[in-house]
Structure 1
Amino acid sequence: MAQVPIPQAPPPQDFLPPSAVPRAAGADASRFFQRWIGADPQRAARLAAVSQLSLARLDLGAALEAEAATGSGGNSGGNPGGNRLPLVRAMRRLRNLLVCALIARDLDGRADLDEVVTAMSRFADFAVQTHLAELMRDMTAQHGTPVGDESGRPQQMMVLAMGKHGGCELNVSSDIDLIFVYPEDGDTRADAPGQRSLSNHEFFVRLGRKLIAALSEVTEDGFTFRVDMALRPNGKSGPLVASLGMVEDYLIVQGREWERYAWVKARAVTGDARDIAALDAIVRPFVYRRYLDFGVIDAIRTMHAQIRAEVNRQERLHPERSHNVKLGRGGIREIEFLAQVFQLIRGGRDPALRDRSTRRTLHLLAERDLLTPAVVQQLQEAYTFLRNLEHRLQYLEDAQTHTLPVSADDRDTVARMMGCTDQAALLARLDEWRGFVAAQFDAIFASKESTKAGDHQAEPVDPETIGTAGADPDQRDAIAERLAGLGFDQPVAAAERLVATWQAPRLQTLPEASRSRLAALVNAALPQIAAVVREAGVGSHAATLGRLLDFFEAIARRSAYLSLLTEYPHTMERVLRMINASGWAATFLTRHPILLDELLDDRGNAAEDLPALAAQLAGQLDEAEGDTERQLDILREALHAQQFRLLALDLAGELSVERLADHLSALADLIVAEVVKRAWRTIASRHRDVPRFAVIAYGKLGGKELGYVSDLDVIFLFDDDDQDAPANYAKLAQRFITWMTTHTSAGILFDIDTALRPDGASGMLVSSVGAFERYQQASAWTWEHQALTRARFCAGDAAIGARFEAIREQVLRRDRSDAAGADKLRADVTAMRRRMRDAHPSHGGRFDLKQDEGGMIDIEFINQYLVLRHAAAHPRLTANTGNIALLRLSAGLGLVDADLAEGAADAYRTMRRLQHQVRLQGQENARVDPGLVADHAAVVMRLWQACLGA
């Protein structure tokens, strides 16, 4: 039977402080150690031999063989005649030897916590695998090989390690939590005469019972591990062994919230790799949600309260059992909960957080900025202290205990094991660590349901009159009066909107718990709206409330989002500030509520390291390799999260329009590059591993002036002589557009415009570099050369990008200095501008910042004309540096009047800022009061006249 390899010890972790390893007591402090070593004089030599080096890397197979071959005689029952010991006896003796060696190394200061828990976890894996292999041989000899009905393959039992065993953090005297799973139903197939066939279920039930007995029955040598099967589907009332199908049905239909917590640790110790992968595919979506699951906070809070209630009850009945270092206040379980709540919330989106080890998970929380490094370091030290104390409690008698002993002498002994002078000193250290852990636990898990609106609340607001009362139209006057008292500028309109929302069918049919939570959120938000509008000095109470209610309607059936806003009240204030400042931001958040997570704190930065972001995104896409739908969502979630972080900083005034455009353009480049790479892998007929294909950016992306909702103007080039190249690269271009524009539950990436390709909409979607060069040299229109001034290599094959840049330079630097060439260029540019203006006439007396005379397109055309007209003499003009820089460069070269150029640059900056503000308010067309830009437009028109005439 194939077996899962015994895990090797992880490399030393810097989060395990050496100072936590005590050195004040030796192994003689353990009565279990004294009895074991005193029962047989040969044991001291064997102990010395195995404890020379780290037990986390002990050769368990060789050690077991030694115990079987040289089992001691004398007081321990003997092994007369040198006969080999049976496996169950040899394994128990190895277990006792290993535990005593750990006691000796640990209490002598030669082992740290990592060595202790890793050695015990490896031994548990080894014991399960070794016993199961022997029992499987015996069972198949009697009944034949179990075979699956569907696959026809021989079946192997998967033994799942749960709890600390699953996390490779097992105690020295712990039981092991196991679950038994087999792949398929079927029957055993006879391999020899006389074998009696069994169903696969009965076969594996018998095998499981034999395995439990082999591990846990108490014999003259003790036991190997106590076995707990209570975590299996349906617990103790369920079958001992379940098929994959049974596990799937159970988790889908009956799986409870606390079982998600338990299954985080599940690790297959035995089984076929294909079957383990199939089980993982069943368990992963049950444990980890694709969205951020903040509802788990309340579920763990409830589970913790039940555990605490039982511990309190036991301590009332047995006061001598106080100070439970595992389940008590501030104990080990609270640290485990702290780590696992982040795993359950975020593990669906961040695979790295699915690690089964509490210690490594805590380490990741610091890396992900989910907890501060200082807090994580202290939690690591607290965990190390509590686990070391737990082990010393168990070292006394090799007993599965987690409470301080009743005897004062024993307490003093444990204190000395911990490096303390006496039990008083130990209790003081224990109280200090437990107090810290409890405070951190409360910071995450303390109920926020009763949190008030804070300093912004002018007066108590009764949820019954503002929240659920909104469902009663007869209450609108009372609600309006309350809103007026809060300072709302349009209380009647706001009350009407609130009533209309509560009467919407979507909210009327909500479960009562969700309605109550939503009512509490509305009640808390109302005074905050008044404060946010007052402090911002812009916005409308009614408009902000309307945007918030639109958002609430969108998330009303997503309890995870309601939980997030309830658990983190400060997030509500950030939501309100954002939607008050920007209607577009409100719409964006309503469409993508998963972005609420970005408002939890100030993690992330507008200037976030793009290489780091690229590496993280690539890792997530690699994890989802083969699942195109999931990859599409990963790309969208990553893009929207980064856009939202930029938006938050933008609205806070921390980004100029230029810096924002730079960041958005760089982000788009990153997304384009990943889509090219991933889409190519989905083309079955691809003729090479890496495509010789490039995406060329035009327009706003080409000029690095991208906005939040800009589409991408691109063309596709390839340079590949393979006969399959044209067809495959056409498929890649089509697939690229599909990946970019397909609407999924996470939205879209970008709209794509390919109209600037050679011959426009009638031309080929993809061009060879040679064909593109011939077209630009012989056939392209002047307006296409204008477009080249704002074009650049974006993503794909860098060599093609370099060739494109060379072609671009050659075309833009063509000599147009003779009279005929200059006149034709001027006529072509003005004619194209006239056609564009005719296609976008003015509306309603408002100034169109982009299209109207004196607007942004006039500035862009002036620059394009100057580049085409003078680049032959001044090659610096072809640099794609942006419109403001080009105006100043032209002035410096004496091509235009310096004052006019500076005025036009100021006009362009002002118009871009106004355009940005208008777009953030949700208006598609950037039109403003003409008086705001009249002087700027006049300067632009004078510059146009100077360069291009009337």
Structure 2
Amino acid sequence: MPCSTDVAACSRYLGRLFAARPEIAAEIAAKIDAPVTATEMRGWLATEALTDDSIKPALRRLKQRAYARVAARDLGGRAHLAEVTECMSSIAEIAIETALAVLRDALTARYGVPRNGQGEEQKLIVVGMGKLGGRELNVSSDIDLIFVYPEDGDTDGAKSISNFEFFTRLGKQLIAAIGEITGDGQVFRVDMRLRPNGDSGPLVCSFDMLENYFITQGREWERYAWIKARPLSGGRLDELEKIRRPFVFRKYLDFGTINAMRDLHAQIRREVARKDMATNIKLGPGGIREIEFIAQVFQLIRGGRDPALQIKPTLQVLSLLAERGQLDIDTVLELTAAYDFLRRLEHRLQYLDDAQTQNLPDSAEDQQTIARAMGFANFEALATELDDHRQNVSRHFEAVFADPNEDNHALDVVWHGGEDDHRAGEFSRLGYRDPGAAITRLDAIRGGVRYQQMSEATRSKFDALVPRVIEAAAATPAPDAALSRILDLLEAVSRRAAYLALLLQYPQALRQVASIAGSSSWAAEYLRLHPVLLDELLDARLLEVAPDWPVFRTQLDAQLDAAEPDTERQMDLMREAHHAQVFRLLAQDIAGLLTVERLADHLSELADIMLDLAIRYAWKKLLKRHRDEPRFAVVSYGKLGGKELGYASDLDLIFLFDDDHPDAAATYAKLATRLNTWLSSQTAAGQLFETDLRLRPNGDSGLMVVSLESFRQYQLESAWVWEHQALTRARFSAGDAAIGAHFEKIRCEILCKGRDLASLREEVRGMRQKMYEAHAGKSELFDLKHDPGGLIDVEFMVQYLVLGHSAGHYELTANKGNIALLKLAAEAGLIPGGLADQVRDAYRDYRRLQHGLRLNNLPARVEAGPIADRIEAVRALWNHVFGD
């Protein structure tokens, strides 16, 4: 059991403190069940008469009281790790806050208030780094600080000095107040070496100095250090954050940081080995530092694109990585358990003599004391569990940081040049059909300007990657196509070394790229246009998890809200999120996990979500709004209207409103225009959708947005038959649901109008003939969409049946898609059931074939022979319906 009966037996320091200050022992005995709070500590200081002379002993007494109680609670099994680290962090913050106020007042009385050129008061910002920044301070920690102030200037006193000199004096006095060893000990050791230029740099720096340092000299390890930076005092902190954030968190995925972190850790490991510190539970193999490195490398890689990862506490980061699928849950559970164990052990090592140590003791007596404090019967049992945790940490660390490319690759000679016969032989051995074309392409890249202009570091990554690309492409069914398409991708991203680093660091991602590129030229081009999607390949759930659209919408909505009022960032966020989801569906599609129908359902629901969010945030941008929520809706036609959306389908849309406010028409016209911009404009992140608004009343000459009543009137009095045909595949997609319901009533009213069947038949046949003549090709192949017996014939038959018979068969008004409507028509006795089933199968097959061809950017034409029975079935039903 922990040392619950006699905490002094587990801590020589506490034994000495209790002997010197028995009142502390008495206070602990009375309050052992209550955690130490920041309010309580401030209350202790409020009873002191604090001056620049009395501040040191007061702060040391504060530290002793708070430390003793939290240590007693911890050793007695009453405090969990979070309470201990929070208490220690609060001690440091309160000590800094109190000392700073007292010392500043004394300096101000002598020199005046520091001000900038505009006369504005300037304050010292004390930045807590490391564990203090993360509120994870250990029980015998030093504190890493950096001193920053906003602007240069001078104090306004009779004896004026520069702001730089004022804050330098204040900083030195603060360090002494906290860190100087007096008869009462010290509050914390203070380490200032993380400041710009370290010990050789000035003690304080202005915002301009800090920003210039980050831009011109900031190193990779400093990015790591500044992750946890947290201001503890001062003002204008938003400005400081704008300097810190872009230095630490890159705008794009930053996989190159893995190499830097790997090198930093190797340097630490060498130092540990040199000093024979294998028993160091922080810096040694499988120690605390490796857990922190795992968490923080993901922060550096992804924090710029995922602001949620910019949090500071290690365990919270690990938990978030599990939620994001960046680490699997078992890994995070093992790392979390190890972190808790190692940090509690670290504290017990430090409780012995209040020493900043993480080394296991050598003496048998101390070993037994530590074991008892950890709840073990003996040190051997403690060591066994410790070894288990350290082995787990090392295993996970190696999985994240191991360099998969340490050795030269067998195909290096194929890339770097050599005898063409040998290279051709290697390509043939790997299964390439045209080795000559592959060799020519590689030589063209190596001799090209883009390759020659690469930096040495980027070229090194490129050189290491190409042989692995050749190998990965060879493992696909179409090596030549896969290689060509991946090389297109590599050339496109060659200036972005982070993408090259990603593919080098994660061979499984490269294999996925090869599989996707070999299967689909459209997918390869999509990846080339949006290389940020390479990151999606690292999610082990890519091919396993079906989209959860409500969760996706909620998360994207939160991101958009957080980006207010930055319109450009919001538009990019929508595009990035849409591209990521499309790519996930694409990967599942290529893997054969989705039917064409299911894929279309997903793409249609995704489009609806994007439309709805675009309405919401475009509305917020209007300067003149007469209501909080717009009475506005988007109605979709065509592919989206029929929930048959494909990857590259444009959106056929109309905009409706139902609002009697005098400014409604003008306001919603502005909203419609802005919404169309949100959807169709090109930004740095690409385009969301191509839109087509010509199906609105009166087409291109009509208003961008119309009222519900105007829409109804137009449909009843002015619309052409082809517009009513289009209405059979129209539905409410986004916006005000009440308008959507009203639209559906109007739609059903129009579809149920009584019509002369002979006249309708001629109208539909005439429109079909015009479409055929407009798209008639000269190919001997069968056009799946436009040729007689193809997709358009099926769609026109369904539209005719809906328009001609909904008055007597209301169920036909349901927008359920062509396959379901053919079944309903057969059940209503309008067409033969057996023939309807054959045509439904034909429609499915046509869509599947069309989809497969589009994935490789091929025309939707096939040999007619293998599908002759499908063509015949469609033609037979056409003859039955139209009498041709």
TM over 0.5, shorter chain: yes
* Structure 1 segments of 4+ aligned residues over 6 angstroms from their partners: none
Partner of 1:899: 834
Partner of 1:7: none
Asked if structure 1 preserves the Cα contact closer than 8 Å seen for 2:18 and 2:24, the reply is yes
The worse-fitting range, judged by mean Cα deviation, of 654-663 and 500-509 is 500-509
Which of residues 35, 38, 41 in structure 1 aligns to 2:16?
35
Which of residues 43, 46, 52 in structure 2 aligns to 1:62?
43
Asked if structure 2 preserves the Cα contact closer than 8 Å seen for 1:488 and 1:530, the reply is yes
Residue 60 of structure 1: CA displacement? Answer: 1.5
Residue 724 of structure 1: CA displacement? Answer: 2.5
Q: Which amino acid aligns with 2:468?
A: A
1:835 aligns with 2:770: yes
Residue 632 of structure 1: CA displacement? Answer: 1.6
Deviations 1:815-843 (A, max 9, x none): 22xxxx22222222122212211211213
Which of residues 875, 878, 883 in structure 2 aligns to 1:944?
878
Partner of 1:493: 437
Q: Which amino acid aligns with 2:698?
A: D
Residue 633 of structure 1: CA displacement? Answer: 1.6
Q: Which amino acid aligns with 1:394?
A: Q
Asked if structure 1 preserves the Cα contact closer than 8 Å seen for 2:350 and 2:356, the reply is yes
Partner of 2:798: 863
1:768 aligns with 2:707: yes
Structure 1 Cα separation of the partners of residues 360 and 13 of structure 2: 17
Asked if structure 2 preserves the Cα contact closer than 8 Å seen for 1:494 and 1:542, the reply is yes
Partner of 1:318: none
The worse-fitting range, judged by mean Cα deviation, of 483-492 and 259-268 is 483-492
Partner of 1:106: 74
The worse-fitting range, judged by mean Cα deviation, of 338-347 and 932-941 is 932-941
Q: Aligned ranges for residues 92-131 of structure 1 at < 5 Å?
A: 92-131=60-99
1:165 aligns with 2:132: yes
| Count of aligned pairs | 883
- Corresponding residue SS for 1:936: helix
Structure 1 Cα separation of the partners of residues 203 and 734 of structure 2: 56
Partner of 2:169: 206
Asked if structure 2 preserves the Cα contact closer than 8 Å seen for 1:27 and 1:108, the reply is no
1:461 aligns with 2:442: no
Structure 1 Cα separation of the partners of residues 70 and 565 of structure 2: 45
Asked if structure 2 preserves the Cα contact closer than 8 Å seen for 1:131 and 1:214, the reply is yes
Closer, same or farther: CA 830–451 of 1 in aligned 2, 3 Å: farther
Residue 462 of structure 1: CA displacement? Answer: 4.0
Residue 24 of structure 1: CA displacement? Answer: 8.5
Structure 2 Cα separation of the partners of residues 686 and 157 of structure 1: 44
Closer, same or farther: CA 637–220 of 1 in aligned 2, 3 Å: same
Q: Which amino acid aligns with 2:301?
A: I
Closer, same or farther: CA 871–653 of 1 in aligned 2, 3 Å: same
Structure 1 Cα separation of the partners of residues 744 and 239 of structure 2: 50
Closer, same or farther: CA 330–606 of 1 in aligned 2, 3 Å: closer
Asked if structure 2 preserves the Cα contact closer than 8 Å seen for 1:589 and 1:595, the reply is yes
Partner of 1:567: 505
Q: Which amino acid aligns with 1:230?
A: R
Partner of 1:13: none
Partner of 2:481: 543
Q: Which amino acid aligns with 1:478?
A: H
Structure 2 Cα separation of the partners of residues 85 and 208 of structure 1: 16
Asked if structure 1 preserves the Cα contact closer than 8 Å seen for 2:325 and 2:540, the reply is no
Q: Which amino acid aligns with 1:124?
A: A
Closer, same or farther: CA 427–876 of 1 in aligned 2, 3 Å: same
Which of residues 131, 155, 164 in structure 2 aligns to 1:188?
155
- Corresponding residue SS for 2:476: helix
Deviations 1:389-426 (A, max 9, x none): 11111111111111123433222222221122333333
Residue 111 of structure 1: CA displacement? Answer: 0.9
Deviations 1:32-70 (A, max 9, x none): 11111101332322333453301256522112235x37x
Partner of 1:641: 580
Structure 1 Cα separation of the partners of residues 627 and 162 of structure 2: 50
Structure 1 Cα separation of the partners of residues 705 and 367 of structure 2: 79
Deviations 1:594-623 (A, max 9, x none): 111222243245622111111111122122
Partner of 1:216: 179
Structure 2 Cα separation of the partners of residues 476 and 761 of structure 1: 60
Asked if structure 1 preserves the Cα contact closer than 8 Å seen for 2:783 and 2:790, the reply is yes
Asked if structure 1 preserves the Cα contact closer than 8 Å seen for 2:823 and 2:833, the reply is yes
Structure 1 Cα separation of the partners of residues 420 and 565 of structure 2: 54
1:175 aligns with 2:175: no
Asked if structure 2 preserves the Cα contact closer than 8 Å seen for 1:607 and 1:663, the reply is no
Structure 2 Cα separation of the partners of residues 874 and 322 of structure 1: 82
Which of residues 423, 434, 450 in structure 1 aligns to 2:390?
434
Closer, same or farther: CA 547–41 of 1 in aligned 2, 3 Å: closer
Q: Aligned ranges for residues 235-634 of structure 1 at < 5 Å?
A: 235-272=198-235, 275-315=236-276, 322-450=278-406, 461-463=410-412, 465-469=413-417, 475-533=419-477, 539=478, 541-604=479-542, 605=544, 607-634=546-573
Deviations 1:566-585 (A, max 9, x none): 11112111111111111111
Deviations 1:79-112 (A, max 9, x none): xxxx999222111101011111122111111111
Asked if structure 2 preserves the Cα contact closer than 8 Å seen for 1:350 and 1:620, the reply is no
Closer, same or farther: CA 852–641 of 1 in aligned 2, 3 Å: same
Structure 2 Cα separation of the partners of residues 109 and 692 of structure 1: 60
TM-score by length of 1: 0.90
Residue 228 of structure 1: CA displacement? Answer: 1.0
Asked if structure 2 preserves the Cα contact closer than 8 Å seen for 1:617 and 1:638, the reply is yes
Structure 1 Cα separation of the partners of residues 160 and 238 of structure 2: 28
Structure 2 Cα separation of the partners of residues 647 and 84 of structure 1: 67
Closer, same or farther: CA 40–26 of 1 in aligned 2, 3 Å: closer
Q: Which amino acid aligns with 2:483?
A: L
Closer, same or farther: CA 606–408 of 1 in aligned 2, 3 Å: closer
Structure 2 Cα separation of the partners of residues 724 and 50 of structure 1: 67
Deviations 1:266-285 (A, max 9, x none): 1111122xx11111122112
TM-score by length of 2: 0.97
Closer, same or farther: CA 556–23 of 1 in aligned 2, 3 Å: farther
Asked if structure 2 preserves the Cα contact closer than 8 Å seen for 1:712 and 1:750, the reply is yes
Q: Which amino acid aligns with 1:609?
A: D
Deviations 1:152-199 (A, max 9, x none): 432222111110000000011101111111112222234xxxx32222
Asked if structure 2 preserves the Cα contact closer than 8 Å seen for 1:606 and 1:645, the reply is no
Which of residues 920, 927, 930 in structure 1 aligns to 2:861?
927
Structure 2 Cα separation of the partners of residues 50 and 568 of structure 1: 53
- Corresponding residue SS for 2:352: helix
Q: Which amino acid aligns with 2:447?
A: Q
Structure 2 Cα separation of the partners of residues 289 and 166 of structure 1: 20
Q: CA RMSD in A?
A: 2.0
Residue 374 of structure 1: CA displacement? Answer: 2.1
